[in-house]
Amino acid sequence: MSIETITDKNHRTVGYIETMSDGKKKALDNIFHTLGYYDPKQNVTQDKNFRTIANGDVLSSLIFKS
């Protein structure tokens, strides 16, 4: 498991992307609330309620929209 910190242009932490042991990724806001998931096997991004919102990995957009 690894965690990537996402920062804005002023170097403030706006969120995190956690890569889980099975390869799936989870987007978290700056206080570690879950925003969504990316499944590389299905190549889809889902929101926190597991509704598909895009094909491909768009987790960083979820972080910047929060």
Q: Kindly write down the DSSP assignment for every residue of 18-48, as one continuous string.
A: EEPTTS-EEEEETT--EEEEEETTTTEEEET
In three-state secondary structure terms, 66 is coil
Asked if the model's pLDDT at residue 8 lies above 80, the reply is yes
pTM for the model: 0.89
CA distance 41 to 34: 20
Q: What is the end-to-end Cα distance of the chain in Å, rounded? A: 23
If pLDDT is split at 50, 70 and 90, which confidence band does 54 have? very high
